């Protein structure tokens, strides 16, 4: 009997679904798109209603032939790419290229890879949604028109190898505008005053701190040190008593379950994962993980979604789990429902576990460390979203400080919050939003009564300076793009990756910093193509694509309305835009003239502005920074020929050691003996994902690994193990033990010179 054919996108997904459907089905993978616009021509006939010219993607010919062969002998063909616009377009391309008769062709979709979901999808097939296909075609052709027309202009006027696009150019503009705000920011001084009090009834009573909020009946003006000191001096000898005590309770509601953007942001804040890495791991969890005897199973629902909607069956199962695992007080009276954000397509459910009983600890052995961390985050957030609110009590105490014989009176305030019922926070608490102000809550005040006498122990002025707006991180850039309606969940990761690959942006720590090239390209685009890099224009275009999907607008008309004005703007820009020269701060070693950022067959490099008289050039790193010069590694001997010293040189993955005698290389050593085997030393290495880590040079005989910079000295004061340097974007850098729980500020453990060296080694 002929078998039915199911075509999915991913080989990993094909493996999982094949085991679910059994022997009557053949499951094949297209490995993503099989057909697209051609690479070396625009492939769009604008004179014939923007008719696209689709071709089989290079190196996909064998896949196409395999699918054609499988389709010929199949009783029925089920097209099962991802349940979104892009997946619908892939299904349509498959139907076109495989030439399958309509009576044998079905489109199925599922939002989780479980036995129930897959079998239900096969039992309820549908036809291809041509409106979805048209919306995806419109997006693809629109991006091709912009990229294919605008990029050559940038090559001509700026430098070769550049690109522009509807979403990526707006993302770069957001980063450049923020950088301009930072550069233009003028910091202003201000002061705050803090009083230290204790209860007068006991000299042994604990001291607590409160903040001055009013002085002489109004908000104090503390813009200078003189003004702050005047208030401090006036408060000398003041008598203090409790003016008022107010207590209020409030409910702290849980956050909705994850959608794509919130998952990306939380994974960046809580797990320090890039947006690209987060989506890659989520894809693995969605497609299926081998769970021992249970076989392969998709662990989460579809990870590209803008909806917080939850299936009733999933909610019912989750409520049963909550009551069983945590007790009835943690279960709200009714199912929790969350409203959709404005502009959401609401095509899929939220991102949630497919089986709530697959707790993170239960399946931990089947997951890699990163898979476990991300799955745990998704599981905890979803469980918490269905739990009862936490109940908090906030006690606000106001203290009057009156100066005898004077009209001056200060009002101090301290607020203390405590948890009465932990609710959903028993399972999950959100990571603090990046760039949010640090929590500087006052020290806990004792229980005080109105009219109670206090002793003012000290008054302390503190100097502060206003801070510029923070640079965007990947997480906060995703938030900004989402809030302004730019792009869709599936576009955030590739957009952020592209602007870094093009050299428009460097990543410094977690911050995305525009390069000189990015600033210059943005400046030209803003001047000559204000619509293309306008956030409102891009958001409006996304809304129009949604209308195409609904069937209320023709995709060809959308393109026609855009293309005419765009071409006219392009012609004017070609005439008016002058050749852009990007001058760097670096000087030529031969003639002293400024070096220019240039582009060659191997990418960006620095070239002398005196060319052709001076032909000096210098290589750039992947971060578009000058490659450091080779220098001797004093005291380091070659492992192969024993020559000393080795040379520190720069390669594709950063600095490494090379022997000037035999030419062989070896990783940089930290000089620290391996604490596991005591034979080798810890060396700096690079993972397949490009991340720096530190491991024993006796690998594979010794598999000791550290993911933070180890310090040669000092050792842990508690267990004498290796200390690790932990830089922080906000707040003080820390030092932590690699073995025990010892943690301390770097300033307390390291001399200033060593701390600066540790920071330089880590960032360099």
CA 569, 571, 577, 579 torsion-angle sign: positive
Q: Which of 431, 518, 510, 436 is nearest to 473 (CA)?
A: 510
Instruction: DSSP letter for 662, please.
Output: T
C-alpha 764/C-alpha 758 separation (Å) is: 10
CA 376, 382, 388, 393 torsion-angle sign: positive
**Tokens describing residue 95:** 């139907």
Helix (H) or strand (E) holding 284: helix 275-287
**Tokens describing residue 303:** 């990870």
Exactly one of 302, 375, 428, 472 is catalytic; name it. 302
From residue 302, give the alpha-carbon distance in Å to each of 131, 269, 386: 21, 22, 19
**Tokens describing residue 493:** 């990761």
C-alpha 42/C-alpha 559 separation (Å) is: 15
> Tokens 């030529």 sit at which residue?
588
Three-class secondary structure of residue 17 per DSSP = helix
Extended beta strands in 466-525, E state: 505-508, 511-514
The DSSP annotation for 180-249 comes to: HHHHH----EEEEEEEEEEETT-TTSPPEEEEEEEETTB----SSHHHHHHHHHHTTT-EEEEEEEEEEE
Residue 86's CB: how many other CB atoms inside 10 A? Answer: 21
C-alpha 277/C-alpha 275 separation (Å) is: 6
Instruction: DSSP letter for 165, please.
Output: -
C-alpha 585/C-alpha 515 separation (Å) is: 12
Radius of gyration of the chain (CA): 31
Extended beta strands in 292-404, E state: 296-297, 390-402
Three-class secondary structure of residue 398 per DSSP = strand
Q: Which of 423, 360, 420 is nearest to 386 (CA)?
A: 423
**Tokens describing residue 757:** 């060296």
The contacts of residue 431 (CB under 8 Å, 6+ apart) are: 266, 269, 270
C-alpha 640/C-alpha 668 separation (Å) is: 15
Residue 32 gets the label, from left (phi > 0), alpha (psi -120 to 50) or beta, of left
Q: Which of 264, 760, 158, 762 is nearest to 504 (CA)?
A: 158
Half-sphere exposure of 236 (CA within 13 A, CB side): 5
CB under 8 A, 24+ apart: contacts of 221-227: 222/190, 222/191, 222/192, 222/193, 222/461, 223/188, 223/189, 223/190, 223/191, 224/189, 224/191, 225/189, 225/191, 225/461, 225/463, 227/191
- 227 in Cβ contact with 193 (< 8 Å): no
Whether the upstream peptide bond of residue 288 has omega within 30° of 0, thus cis, is: no
Whether the upstream peptide bond of residue 479 has omega within 30° of 0, thus cis, is: no
**Tokens describing residue 744:** 């301390």
**Tokens describing residue 659:** 């022997």
302 is catalytic: yes
- 418 in Cβ contact with 393 (< 8 Å): yes
Q: Which residues are catalytic?
A: 302
């Amino acid at each position: 009997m002929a078998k039915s054919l199911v075509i999915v996108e991913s080989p990993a997904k094909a493996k999982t679904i094949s085991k679910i459907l059994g022997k009557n089905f053949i499951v094949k993978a297209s490995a993503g798109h099989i057909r697209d616009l051609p690479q070396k021509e625009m492939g769009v006939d604008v004179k014939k209603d923007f008719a696209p010219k689709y071709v089989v993607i290079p190196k996909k010919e064998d896949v196409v032939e395999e699918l054609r062969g499988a389709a010929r002998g199949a009783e029925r063909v089920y097209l099962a790419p991802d349940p979104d616009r892009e997946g619908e377009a892939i299904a349509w391309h498959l139907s076109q290229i495989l030439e399958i008769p309509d009576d044998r062709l079905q489109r199925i979709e599922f939002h989780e890879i479980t036995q129930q979901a897959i079998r239900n999808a096969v039992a309820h097939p549908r036809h291809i949604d041509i409106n979805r296909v048209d919306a995806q075609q419109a997006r693809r052709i629109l991006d091709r028109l912009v990229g294919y027309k605008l990029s050559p202009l940038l090559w001509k006027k700026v430098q070769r190898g550049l690109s522009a696009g509807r979403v990526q150019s707006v993302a770069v503009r957001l980063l450049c505008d923020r950088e301009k705000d930072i550069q233009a920011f003028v910091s202003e001084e201000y002061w705050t005053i803090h009083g230290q009090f204790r209860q007068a009834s006991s000299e042994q009573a604990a001291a607590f701190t409160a903040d001055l909020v009013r002085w002489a009946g109004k908000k104090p003006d503390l813009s200078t040190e003189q003004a702050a000191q005047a208030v401090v001096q006036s408060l000398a000898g003041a008598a203090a008593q409790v003016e008022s005590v107010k207590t209020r309770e409030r409910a702290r509601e849980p956050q909705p379950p994850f959608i794509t953007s919130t998952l990306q942001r939380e994974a960046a804040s809580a797990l320090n994962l890039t947006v690209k890495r987060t989506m890659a791991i989520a894809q693995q969890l969605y497609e299926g993980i081998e769970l021992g005897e249970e076989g392969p199973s998709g662990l989460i629902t579809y990870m590209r979604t803008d909806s917080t909607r939850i299936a009733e069956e999933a909610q019912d199962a989750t409520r049963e789990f909550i009551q069983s695992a945590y007790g009835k007080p943690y279960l709200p009276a009714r199912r929790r429902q969350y409203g959709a954000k404005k502009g959401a397509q609401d095509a899929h459910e939220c991102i949630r576990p497919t089986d709530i009983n697959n707790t993170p600890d239960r399946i931990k052995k089947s997951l890699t460390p990163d898979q476990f961390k991300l799955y745990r985050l998704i599981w905890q957030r979803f469980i918490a979203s269905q739990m009862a609110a936490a109940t908090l009590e906030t006690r606000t105490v106001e203290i009057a400080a009156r100066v005898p014989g004077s009209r001056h009176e200060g009002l101090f305030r301290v607020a203390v919050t405590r948890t009465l019922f932990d609710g959903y926070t028993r399972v999950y608490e959100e990571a603090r939003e990046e760039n949010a102000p640090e929590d500087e809550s006052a020290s806990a005040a004792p229980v005080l009564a109105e009219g109670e006498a206090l002793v003012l122990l000290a008054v302390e002025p503190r100097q502060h300076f206003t801070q510029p707006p923070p640079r965007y991180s990947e997480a906060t850039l995703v938030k900004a793009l989402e809030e302004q309606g730019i792009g869709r969940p599936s576009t955030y990761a590739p957009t952020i990756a592209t602007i870094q690959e093009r050299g428009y942006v460097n990543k410094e720590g977690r911050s995305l910093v525009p390069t000189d090239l990015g600033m210059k390209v943005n400046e030209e685009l803003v001047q000559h193509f204000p619509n293309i890099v306008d956030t409102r224009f891009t958001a409006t275009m996304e809304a129009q694509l949604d209308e195409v999907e609904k069937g209320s607008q023709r995709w060809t008309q959308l393109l026609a309305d855009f293309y005419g004005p765009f071409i006219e703007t392009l012609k004017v820009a070609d005439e008016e835009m002058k050749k852009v020269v990007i001058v760097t701060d670096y000087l030529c070693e031969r003639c002293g003239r400024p070096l220019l950022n240039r582009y060659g067959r191997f990418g960006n490099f620095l070239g002398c502005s005196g060319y052709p008289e001076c032909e000096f050039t210098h290589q750039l790193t992947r971060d578009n920074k000058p490659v450091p010069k080779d220098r001797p590694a004093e005291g380091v001997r070659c492992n192969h020929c024993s020559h000393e010293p080795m040379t520190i040189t720069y390669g594709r993955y950063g600095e490494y050691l090379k022997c000037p005698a035999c030419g062989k290389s070896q990783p940089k050593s930290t000089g620290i003996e391996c604490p596991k085997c005591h034979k080798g030393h810890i060396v700096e290495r690079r993972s397949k994902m490009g991340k720096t880590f530190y491991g024993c040079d006796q690998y594979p005989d010794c598999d000791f690994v550290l993911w933070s910079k180890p310090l040669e000295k000092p050792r842990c004061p508690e267990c004498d193990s290796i200390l690790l340097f932990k830089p922080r974007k906000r707040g003080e850098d820390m030092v932590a033990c690699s073995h025990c729980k010892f943690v301390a500020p770097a300033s307390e453990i390291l001399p200033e010179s060593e701390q600066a060296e540790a920071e330089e080694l880590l960032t360099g």
